[in-house]
Amino acid sequence: MATWRRDGRLTGSQRLLCAGLAGTLSLSLTAPLELATVLAQVGVVRGRARGPWGAGLCVWRAEGPRALWKGNAVACLRLFPCSAVQLAAYRKFVVLFTDDLGHISQWRSIMAGSLAGMVSAIVTYPTDLIKTRLIVQNMLEPSYRGILHAFSTIYQQEGFLALYRGVSLTILGALPFSAGSLLVYMNLEKIWNGPRDRFSLLQNFANVCLAAAVTQTLSFPFDTVKRKMQAQSSYLPHCGGVDVHFSGAVDCFRQIVKAQGVLGLWNGLTANLLKIVPYFGVMFGTFEFCKRICLYQNGYIVSPLSYKLTPGVDQSLKPQELRELKKFFKTGQLKSKKPTL
């Protein structure tokens, strides 16, 4: 599967900053679709609204335009710790899966990425639960005044374990997610009728979107049950707006199928799929723009508006090495100058 290649010309903090800004902007622009997805999964009653557009329009009319971005602040805040934990876990899993010769197969690399994503999701899970609670509540009559208030209220009223309600579905959902990633990767050459190392940027972008669509579709039932478990609370009006009552994860699956049929497990999938292309498009574009700015600051390119390389600069040097080299030549030239009258 196509992923961003690690560019040695950027420092670790620059890569994290670029990824964080790209993720924040893409999340903010697709937040209304995320809201429509969560509301459909939880089953919050919004009149006769059907589809992402109808759900968003009902929220707009009932609570105002700001309500379309409910929960987006906590989603953006969790990006940086989630990315940091995922990167650290991925490196550990890669070392674990690497053979004695230092090689790692593609399916093991995908498995390492899936496990790293699962670890980061578990570590930052309380923020995901709080995001769901903020989305399903009514802004005009809020149960939580903000992120910190939601965290403290849930902890005091429902206990610490309530912050991890539904976390088991994150673990179970990693299995179809990994299977979908491997399925897409194994068929990329057949889809494009060419080798992977010759894919264009547009093809790589299409590969990411295709992989996201397949993996999210396969793991969506687990995500639906997780959202219902996150939203359900006896301390909230109408038990959090959940449309079925259940006693656990297995019972939640059973009640959804009993009340809505098997397809009820995929409620909200349309809105979720609609946000894939704009989400990754904005993310890729923002990441590349921020990357050009960092490369320009590091001295590798002549302008942040293009990738034109700076003449005479060794692109294989790391940022610290390039700075030390520039400092050396600068001090060397100053020392070589003869004093003049």
Q: Dig out the tokens for 94 from the structure.
A: 């890669």
State how far the alpha carbon of 94 is from the alpha carbons of 168, 170, 178, 323, in Å.
24, 21, 15, 30
**Positions of the chain with pLDDT under 70:** 1-5, 45-50, 332-341
Q: Which residue, 179, 20, 24, is CA-closest to 114? A: 179
* Inter-helix orientation angle 276-298/12-29, to 10°: 150
Distance CA 133, CA 74 (A): 11
Taking only the tens place, the pLDDT of each residue in 94-140 is 888 888 787 888 778 888 888 898 999 999 999 999 999 999 999 99
State how far the alpha carbon of 314 is from the alpha carbons of 79, 194, 291, 325, 326, in Å.
33, 32, 18, 10, 12
> How many whole angstroms from its chain centre is CA 255?
29
Distance CA 267, CA 37 (A): 8
Nearby residues of 30 by Cβ (< 8 Å), 6 or more positions away: 275, 278, 279, 282
Which pLDDT does position 45 carry in this prediction? 57
Which pLDDT does position 5 carry in this prediction? 57
Which pLDDT does position 188 carry in this prediction? 85
With contact defined as beta carbons under 8 Å apart, do 240 and 136 qualify? yes
- DSSP secondary structure letters along 141-174: S-S-SSHHHHHHHHHHHH-GGGGGTTHHHHHHHH
